[in-house]
Structure 1
Amino acid sequence: MKTFKQHESEVRSYIRSFPAIFKKAKGSILYDEQGKEYIDFFAGAGTLNYGHNNPLVSEALIKYIQDDGIIHGLDKATTAKKIFLEKFYDIVLHPRHMEYKIQFTGPTGTNAVETALKLVRMVKGRSNIIAFTNAFHGLTLGSMAVTANSFYRDEAFINRTNVSFMPFDGYFGEDVNTADYLRKYLEDQSSGVDLPAAIILECIQAEGGINVASDEWLRDIEQICKDFDILLIVDDIQVGNGRTGSFFSFESSGINPDIITLSKSIGGGLPLSMVLLKTELDQWKPGEHTGTFRGNNLAFIASVELLSYWENDNIPNTVKSKEKILKERLMEIKNEYPSIQAEVRGKGLIYGLKIPLRGFCTEVSEEAFSRGLLIELAGAEDNVLKFLPPLTIEPDLLNEGLQIIEDSIKSVLEKREAMIEDLNNDS
């Protein structure tokens, strides 16, 4: 790792959690330079829903490059973009009776969020945005302003104005409807909360700790938007693209967002970011919001292949069956080790195991890595083990990874108990 320490910025992050030099990957397994295998419960933070080096994508990309297909085209018309637009409409939008224009932004999720925030402010002529506790929407200045975690926010470089934070669903426990709380603030002319241009939310707060909004709460928020002439933005960058079993994370609620942001898995592992906006909101002047890498033609090719998974019910069915495995095993772990005070939360193939013991999840992640598994942490205090395997993971491999997690929890518990016993003996 000397090369990375010597030449790469201190800002590097995942390399510290997973200190290996990875050489190749296939499906749900990564391989380091020594050939050691690692089961992937991380999936590129939700970018690899369809696995590493999906053969459909690899074959299509090789052919496209060999045929001298357009690699970079700004927002010019290309064959790759045309095929993607047609496929996305036919496979995703039309069957769901969704009428949206598609805007391609810069290559990452935060670019889509920045675009959505800029657009709603322009359309409504208001500057305030309402976001929620534990929200994560990106780390460029605009999207960081609607990100709640104080680790990413600093008075020195963030504009804290024009964003009001409200409690997410369940923030005060099950007995408080935070949608009613929000409505009260908007009705009260002396609340100090300016009428916003938009409300932005994640249906499942992934980085925030796997906080799942109920369908009822989402419908309440949508009704508030209608009652107060506010636009609704759903950030589906990490938990869309099938992660919850449906293509969009909000489908079970029946809501109809004004704007949806997509990135991560929509590009099949390649950079692609887009904003879905209702037709009446498409008020841009030509060239008013641009970016050199808006619309990645290689990602279009990859995405078209992966959209074929949605031509039938295979993904919803496979996510449902694997969710059963994941949830049941996590509940078994919770019950087997009551001393860790675990809480199981999630939906589809994004689950969290919250363990409030200080530093425990970090130790489990490190132990799991040593045993050949990658798992990320979530929550403001890194006290949630975040289960995010590829949707295409084989059931046997999913079970193998969950066994590693259980073994790691047991090992960390034993080490902690031994440490306490040594301290007692010394005293």
Structure 2
Amino acid sequence: MDIFELKESNVRSYCRDFTDTFHTAEGSTLTSEQGQLFIDFFSGAGALNYGHNNPVLKAALLDYIAQNGITHGLDFKTTAKKAFLTAFEEQVLAPRNLRYKVQFPGPTGTNAVEAAIKLARKYTGRQNIVAFTNAFHGMSLGSLALTSNPRKRAGAGVTLSNVTFMPYDGYFGDSVDTSLYLDRMLRSGSGIDKPAAIVLETVQGEGGVNSASAAWVHAVQRIAQAHDILLIIDDIQAGCGRTGDFFSFEALGVTPDIVTLSKSISGYGLPMSLVLLAPHLDVWEPGEHNGTFRGNNLAFVTGKAVIDHYWSDAGFTQALKAKAGVLHDALQRLSAGFAAKAPNRLKGRGFFKGIEFEDASLAQKVAARAYAHGLIIETSGIDNQVLKFLPALTITAAQINQGVQILEQAFAEVITP
């Protein structure tokens, strides 16, 4: 029995599928302790949008550490935080005409969600929150209450309350506009307590790479405004360039009241999260939501380097969207090539893609065979029926094609001729 089996809790999960002991990583590859090379279509569940050990970010980080820069700072004013906030305002928010204030909660995505719903409840004086079918917002109690997966909810050990679930876009099929149901159920007589907020992901990652249409998200925003309800967009996995723009809601033409960010906001896999809030919502009392590690200055340094190097260059987003087209075309060919033997459909936006199988058992089998051949890819959806693609935004076209070739081999081995 190795040390992981001997000492680590049964709660561990990813290492049960990706069983090697990994030693080094660079860009879109990982190398095991035994020297086997793996292409990474997982990217730390979306926390490594710019790849492993990105040299630009690493140089900024090493330089900061060498100068004895502040590492732990709570919510102190530091030069690293000042530099990040300045870059974020000047190169991300202002060019998009977004006037958000920035809150640094604890460094995890679930903490950002907890802060967002706590603020919505404080501001409105209401308790109920609307979330959606197949949603995932985190594993602490408040965000878990917004999460629909029964297996994850079962771990809470207490009743998860003050949340009303509504059908997400497409939940009843393409012919049913579920925003009409939402609107009707928020009217008098439905028995639903008036919500403080509506929380949604524009692309549901853990829920199966379900992508909401612009028309549906617009309708939800109009409904929220008509009923004086705050709109919160959880951009923790879909943001930071994953769908092609910095924010996943940019292309949809909506402006939420509150946005949560985490995962790749630091760019280097360092823990960090943000809550972006309209200025009039900033009704917090000092220290009313805090956390010992809310001031991760190392993450501020790499987060600023990401903005300076990538998001200050319009050519980056153009190249990103072109490369997303390469991924889409490759996956479309793969999906179509096996559709007759294994009915499936391609889903998602940008560098956030999924292949959903009618036979729910196939996705995990394909992922396991792909891993055996040197590709790391996960599954998602209520029955793990979706192969979920989260390659780094910096992956090369050659690596995309190489990874898809491995997948094609895995498909052929799993799907019965």
Give the TM-score, by structure 1 length.
Answer: 0.95
| Alignment partner, residue 283 of structure 2 | 283
| Alignment partner, residue 324 of structure 2 | 323
Contact in 1 for aligned 2:202/2:233 (Cα 8 Å): yes
The answer to whether the aligner puts 1:9 opposite 2:9 as a matched pair is: yes
Distance 2:156 2:238 in 1: 31
Which one has the largest radius of gyration? 1
Contact in 2 for aligned 1:329/1:402 (Cα 8 Å): yes
The answer to whether the aligner puts 1:341 opposite 2:340 as a matched pair is: no
Distance 2:192 2:334 in 1: 43
Deviations 1:219-247 (A, max 9, x none): 10000011000000000000100001110
**Which letter does structure 1 place at the counterpart of 2:247?**
F
**Which letter does structure 2 place at the counterpart of 1:212?**
S
**Which letter does structure 2 place at the counterpart of 1:54?**
N
Please give the residue correspondences for 1:296-315 in structure 2 after superposition, counting only pairs within 5 Å.
Answer: 296-308=296-308, 309-315=310-316
Look up the SS of the partner of 1:252 in the other structure: coil
| Alignment partner, residue 122 of structure 1 | 122
| Alignment partner, residue 235 of structure 2 | 236
The match for 1:387 among 379, 386, 389 is: 389
Distance 1:70 1:341 in 2: 54
| Alignment partner, residue 91 of structure 1 | 91
| Alignment partner, residue 206 of structure 1 | 205
The alpha carbon displacement at 1:205 in A equals 0.2
The answer to whether the aligner puts 1:144 opposite 2:174 as a matched pair is: no
| Alignment partner, residue 180 of structure 1 | 180
Contact in 2 for aligned 1:210/1:345 (Cα 8 Å): yes
Contact in 1 for aligned 2:265/2:272 (Cα 8 Å): yes
**Which letter does structure 1 place at the counterpart of 2:89?**
Y
**Which letter does structure 2 place at the counterpart of 1:142?**
G
**Which letter does structure 2 place at the counterpart of 1:170?**
G
Distance 2:344 2:320 in 1: 23
Contact in 1 for aligned 2:49/2:242 (Cα 8 Å): yes
Contact in 2 for aligned 1:232/1:258 (Cα 8 Å): yes
Contact in 1 for aligned 2:144/2:160 (Cα 8 Å): no
Distance 1:316 1:156 in 2: 40
Contact in 2 for aligned 1:133/1:148 (Cα 8 Å): yes
Distance 2:295 2:90 in 1: 19
Please give the residue correspondences for 1:101-120 in structure 2 after superposition, counting only pairs within 5 Å.
Answer: 101-120=101-120
| Alignment partner, residue 261 of structure 1 | 260
| Alignment partner, residue 44 of structure 1 | 44
The answer to whether the aligner puts 1:272 opposite 2:275 as a matched pair is: no
Contact in 2 for aligned 1:273/1:295 (Cα 8 Å): no
The alpha carbon displacement at 1:330 in A equals 1.8
Distance 1:159 1:112 in 2: 21
The alpha carbon displacement at 1:313 in A equals 1.9
| Alignment partner, residue 378 of structure 2 | 376
The alpha carbon displacement at 1:158 in A equals 3.6
The alpha carbon displacement at 1:46 in A equals 0.4
Deviations 1:365-397 (A, max 9, x none): 111011000001010000000011000000000
Deviations 1:162-184 (A, max 9, x none): 10000000001111111111000
Aligned-residue CA RMSD (Å): 1.1
The alpha carbon displacement at 1:151 in A equals 1.1
| Alignment partner, residue 164 of structure 1 | 164
| Alignment partner, residue 61 of structure 2 | 61
| Seq. identity, % | 51
Look up the SS of the partner of 2:65 in the other structure: helix
Contact in 2 for aligned 1:243/1:350 (Cα 8 Å): yes
**Which letter does structure 2 place at the counterpart of 1:157?**
G
**Which letter does structure 2 place at the counterpart of 1:378?**
S
Distance 2:281 2:61 in 1: 34
| Alignment partner, residue 252 of structure 1 | 251
| Alignment partner, residue 226 of structure 1 | 225
The alpha carbon displacement at 1:272 in A equals 0.3
Contact in 2 for aligned 1:245/1:315 (Cα 8 Å): no
Deviations 1:176-199 (A, max 9, x none): 111111000011x22121110000
Distance 2:334 2:48 in 1: 26
| Alignment partner, residue 133 of structure 2 | 133
Look up the SS of the partner of 1:154 in the other structure: helix
Deviations 1:137-172 (A, max 9, x none): 000000000000111012862433210000000001
Unpaired runs of 5+ residues, structure 1, are 418-427
**Which letter does structure 2 place at the counterpart of 1:150?**
P
Look up the SS of the partner of 1:339 in the other structure: coil
Matched positions, count? 414
Unpaired runs of 5+ residues, structure 2, are none
**Which letter does structure 2 place at the counterpart of 1:94?**
A
Look up the SS of the partner of 2:286 in the other structure: coil
| Alignment partner, residue 422 of structure 1 | none
Deviations 1:58-107 (A, max 9, x none): 11111111111001010010000000000000110000010011000101
The answer to whether the aligner puts 1:397 opposite 2:399 as a matched pair is: yes
Distance 2:248 2:302 in 1: 22
